[in-house]
Amino acid sequence: MPLSFSTYFSGGPTPKFSPFHIWKAYQVIDILGPIGRKALAEVLQIGEGSTRTILDKMIRAGSVENTRRGAVLTERGCKRFETSGIQTAPIEISGITLGKHNCAVLAKATADRIKLGCEQRDEAVRAGAIGASTLVVQDGRIVFPCDNKYPDQELIAPLRRVFEVEDNDAIIIGSGYTYEAAEKGAVTAALAIGEAAKNCWTEGPNLLSKETEAEELKSLALAIHELVGRLPLTMRSRNQFGVRCEDGEVIDDNYSGPVLEEALKKSQMISRISTSGPYRGVPIVVVPVLRKNEAVAVIGVFDITRGSLSELMNRKKSK
């Protein structure tokens, strides 16, 4: 069974990392650990902030332990990675591979989710590869989807030397100008097969999650800010500080407050007078964004006019 990371990560409006980077973090720590955050960020080719987000979540899940020498996988983390259903290997198969550098990815028990293979090719190209070829295992043979006569089984013998395949497995061979690009393309395509991406390395295409960072909240927060007539607005996720908007602009991208935190803790709407900060003495209404009855984020509006918003809330309380 593919490994379940249904409570791990989700992409925001402008994600800084993808399911590939999460998978790659496991692989790198498994091979090179202990490894520091800076060194890991360089290998992943993403920022240290995004790398920290990945590591923090892995630590909370019990998959990684921070030592003086750097991050290492725990026993639980090793098991998660080993049972992920994704294996990789450099490969060269004349007539199938497209570039100088090629990476084959074995995606266990996913062949029944593949149609023609063009979807995997497109995913690989979007991730930076120059192309990809998709094969499936049927009746003990490694063949093209919807064409169990090709390729010649002697031609794909190198795949059997690097992978132990079973019926209903899929193999994606990514090609690129570098091996890193070929690997990223092939792994990204493998993770995107049907439910694989949803159940393995991401929560799915949710707009908000507990880990959504301030940068990813800005566009949504500004839209709501305009919707409420530019009343001062704040927004944050459960595990990351957020933003504060005034006069059509984000003026703080590392913001939190006691009423926001109370609404997160209670997972319910809070309406009261602010007792601290720049809006002390001003009515504030904070509403949670709920998922499975738990607040993953909160949005707060300060009623600086003490007008319609406060009146609406008072009416609701009196009912």
Residue 94, token pair as written in the block: 């004349």
For position 318, what pLDDT does the model report?
53
> What is the rounded average pLDDT for all residues in the chain?
84
* pLDDT confidence of residue 6: 33
Q: Is the peptide bond before 90 cis (omega within 30 degrees of 0)?
A: no
Q: Specify the pTM.
A: 0.58
* pLDDT tens-place string over residues 106-137: 999 899 889 888 889 999 999 999 999 999 99
pLDDT at 11: 37
| Dist. CA 236–CA 209, nearest whole Å | 10
The percent of residues above 90 in pLDDT, for the chain, comes to 50
Determine whether 170 is exposed, middle or buried from the number of CB atoms within 10 Å of its CB (0-12, 13-18, 19+): buried
Low-confidence ranges of the chain (pLDDT < 70): 1-16, 194-207, 306-319
Question: What pLDDT does residue 27 have?
Answer: 94
Q: What is the Cα Rg of the chain in Å? A: 24
Domains of the chain: residue spans and CATH = 19-82 (1.10.10.10), 86-200 (3.30.1360.30), 214-318 (3.30.450.40)
In this prediction, residue 3 carries a pLDDT of 38
